[in-house]
Amino acid sequence: MAGFNEKEFELCYYAEFMRKNRSSIIGVPSSPTTRQEYRLGYDVEFRINNETFTRSLFLQYKISHYAEKRSGKNKHIWDCYMGPYYRFPIEKLDKTKQHNMLVDLATKGEEVYYCAPIFVGRYKLEMCSSKDEVIDMSRYFDPLSMGLIVDFDQHHVSCDPDGTYGYFHSDPIKLDSVNTWDILTQKAKIKSINMHYVESLSEILNNNIHDAYGVSPSVPDSVKKTGIFLSVSYMLYRYYNLKWFIY
């Protein structure tokens, strides 16, 4: 078992992000109440002291489980490594269409990744957090290299204990890469994060959601009134379970 939940991992990740970028962050981050979070579509907001953004990144957080021995249930994953590994599940297609929507968003040129720690246990989370190593001890997996899910089976993503290579299961597909934060930053496309970009992103999300569900996204009027940035954030959060980083 991981020993901590997704929300706890996220909070440690955000706290470290704030510490590492303290020179660019104004004041303290704001966090809506649970009720406001559902209405607004974000769980933490940073005010950045820089109006010239060049990168846009979308993360979906996952919690890793560590397999220490081979068993009947995991032999097909264990045999890819012939040893221990980390893994996390992808939601089944009959429950949500999120994975395929992430793939579609990535095909549009956006930086979309699953983010998972390569550690387990509350003690390890606390130790990594105290040393500002949560971000460095996380790995970023490109859904585009996994491809679309076309069945209703349970799928997993796995990687070796050092987070250097990984697979998409059930039929193992070796991933093009397992990224560290440094590699991710180097690979991220440089672009102007301006109103034109946000409007284009909004159109992509609207079309993608309509294609997936047959209806246009439902964005509350209270969110629309705040402007297009939060409307986009709401769609990402509600329909994709993605957190939007602009930096």
pTM recorded for the entire structure: 0.88
pLDDT band at 22 (very low <50, low <70, confident <90, very high): low
Given this model, what pLDDT does residue 117 score? Answer: 98
pLDDT score of 26 more than 50: no
DSSP 162: T
pLDDT score of 136 more than 80: yes
Please give the full DSSP string across 126-162, using - where no structure is assigned: HHHHHTT-TTTTEEEE-GGGT----SSS-EEEEE-TT
53 or 227, which is more confident? 227
Closest CA to 232 of 123, 149, 110, 139: 110
pLDDT band at 2 (very low <50, low <70, confident <90, very high): confident
pLDDT score of 113 more than 90: yes
